[in-house]
DNA sequence: GTCTCCCCGATTGTGGACAATATTCTGCAT
DNA sequence: ATGCAGAATATTGTCCACAATCGGGGAGAC
């Protein structure tokens, strides 16, 4: 899976030089390589990525604006800790944006679009039956991103991509909930049906249903964690 | 009116030094001081704002990530032109975010919150009766931002603030539509009623109604402009 | 006239040097 | 041991010089 969706400052030239070290840092952060609140030292990173301090600095500014790191004057950058509350907020926003997008998609989906979505779902079913739920998360992301592409709503898609990168470290929790994947699959089916029927309202409802589930799951996970803390920040 | 709403990298220290030149540039851009697509030259701005080129550069990166300028490798920064289509997209996203926010607000509004909103509306009515529609836009913005504060939903508020700054140059068009202000006022009344009734669904509906109007108006304005172009990009 | 190529001024990209500031360490008094 | 002051180190902030690259304009061919 990749988190790379079109972003404002990211040109798509083949031998892109600028976004390079930004992308690299970004990936390392969203994939959880750094601890929350871990301090990021310009010189270290510059050496490790074999880039100048200027580049690292620019990347920091961007990541700060994006909400992935916090940049304090004279104190450098640390990876931003997203609170439980904020994670919920992010999911809430995600729900309404996905609704907006799926509504557009319902008005624009072509036959081949629908066929591709069908295939995505079939593949998910296959993996699930194989007892291989590990790839499910990737396929899930793919399914949604396919819808983004169909909707052709750059603004919403961009915001969603940003939000997603922020909430990434929470997402794995929602996956692990027992019995969730089976239900998720059914919800995907419903979304596809509504899209195939070119039904904007139906699609929107199906998407809301689907993602409200995710929000509830997240709420549940956070609650569970609160009563059995694994890791205490010092 | 101010566009300054809490933003990721913007600390609120009194003698803030860093965001300084970023804020200044940002204001100049959203207030329409530069033409769309106008090129921004580092050295010039550095002299004019009496800052180093590094600071300007950092500001550019931030503005690029925010979508206010576009930053091309080796070609510097130009202020980003938001296409008609994108303006519509932005408004669409704005609608759903405002719905989300007002829903939260309905669950949290206190008596004094409601009183403040009441006052905002009364003031709008007063100005309108005075035949002073010029201040209306500011009051309108104030009304909405008050709701943001009540909802206490940082994530959505941050995104809305960003979107708003991007669409600012379109907004004035929606204001000028004849008879619009009167209707807008009635819609505000409906929103307040629903909030006072602590009715999330009702608030959401009222807000959707209100802002769909704005979207339609915008669509109308764009259509009108298309048939009577004032300015042709070369 | 106009098209192409090349050169030059203008502008951006990058690294280093140094100043400003924060953080850690050390020694000392209690 | 503990806490504190101040030195020592580490890190960030800023400026500057120079390299890399771009855009425009002019010379020349047709």
Mean pLDDT of B211-229: 78
- The DSSP element (H or E) to which A28 belongs, if any, is helix A19-30
Closest C-alpha among B68, B72, B96, B71 to residue B82: B68
The partner residue sitting opposite A62, judged by closest CB among B61, B93, B99, is: B61
Beta bridge partners of A135: none
Lowest mean pLDDT across A155-159, B6-10, B179-183, B207-211: B6-10
Three-state DSSP state, A12: coil
Alpha carbon dihedral A121, A126, A128, A134, in 10-degree steps, equals -90
- How many other CB atoms are found less than 10 A from the CB of residue B11? 13
Give the integer Cα–Cα distance in Å for A42 and A32. Answer: 19
Mean pLDDT of B33-53: 94
Instruction: With cut-offs at 50, 70 and 90, classify the pLDDT of residue B175.
Output: low
Contacts of B97 in chain A (CB under 8 A): 93, 96
Three-state DSSP state, B40: strand
**Burial bucket for residue A226 (CB in 10 Å: 0-12, 13-18, 19+):** exposed
In this prediction, residue A44 carries a pLDDT of 95
Contacts of A89 in chain B (CB under 8 A): 153-156
**Burial bucket for residue B154 (CB in 10 Å: 0-12, 13-18, 19+):** middle
B58–A contact, CB cutoff 8 A:
yes
Give the integer Cα–Cα distance in Å for A187 and B5. Answer: 37
Three-state DSSP state, B128: helix
Chain D bases closer than 7 angstroms to a protein Cβ: 10-16, 21-23
pLDDT in tens, B64-98: 999 999 999 999 999 999 888 999 999 999 999 99
Integer CA distances (angstroms), B187 to A134, B174, B204, B209, B217, in order? 49, 15, 12, 8, 14
Q: Is the pLDDT of residue B11 over 80?
A: no
The share of chain B scoring above pLDDT 90, in percent, equals 60
Contacts of A93 in chain B (CB under 8 A): 97, 100, 155-156, 159
The pLDDT averaged over each successive group of 10 residues in chain A (234 residues) is 43 50 93 92 95 95 95 95 91 96 97 96 89 78 95 97 85 63 90 98 96 83 71 44
Q: How many residues does chain A have?
A: 234
In this prediction, residue B216 carries a pLDDT of 85
Instruction: With cut-offs at 50, 70 and 90, classify the pLDDT of residue B222.
Output: confident
What would you measure as the largest C-alpha separation in chain B, in angstroms?
56
- The DSSP element (H or E) to which A72 belongs, if any, is strand A69-72
Give the integer Cα–Cα distance in Å for B59 and A146. Answer: 34
Give the integer Cα–Cα distance in Å for B67 and A86. Answer: 23
The rounded Cα A176 to chain-centroid distance in angstroms is 16
In this prediction, residue A207 carries a pLDDT of 97
Query: The pTM is what?
Result: 0.86
Cβ-defined contact of B58 to A62 (cutoff 8 Å): no
Sign of CA dihedral A73, A76, A80, A83: negative
List the structure tokens of A58: 């620019």
């Amino acid at each position: 899976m990749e988190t790379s969706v079109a972003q404002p400052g990211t040109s798509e030239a083949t031998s892109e030089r600028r976004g390079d070290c930004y992308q690299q840092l970004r990936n390392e952060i969203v994939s959880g390589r750094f601890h929350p609140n871990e301090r990021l030292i310009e010189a270290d990173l510059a050496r490790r990525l074999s880039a100048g301090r200027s580049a690292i600095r620019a990347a920091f500014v961007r990541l700060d604006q994006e909400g992935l790191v916090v940049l304090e004057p004279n104190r450098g950058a640390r990876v931003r800790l997203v609170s439980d509350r904020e994670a919920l907020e992010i999911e809430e926003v995600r729900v309404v944006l996905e609704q907006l997008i799926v509504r557009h998609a319902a008005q624009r989906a072509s036959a081949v679009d629908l066929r591709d979505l069908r295939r995505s779902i079939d593949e998910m079913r296959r993996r699930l039956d194989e007892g291989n739920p590990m790839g499910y998360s990737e396929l899930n992301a793919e399914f949604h991103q396919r819808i983004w592409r169909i909707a052709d709503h750059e603004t919403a898609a961009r915001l969603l991509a940003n939000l997603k990168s922020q909430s990434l470290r929470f997402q794995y929790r929602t996956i692990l909930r027992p019995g969730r994947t089976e239900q998720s699959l059914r919800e995907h089916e419903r979304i596809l049906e509504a899209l195939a029927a070119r039904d904007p309202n139906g699609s929107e409802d199906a998407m809301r249903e689907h993602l409200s589930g995710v929000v509830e799951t997240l709420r549940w996970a956070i609650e569970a964690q609160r009563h059995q803390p694994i890791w205490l920040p010092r």
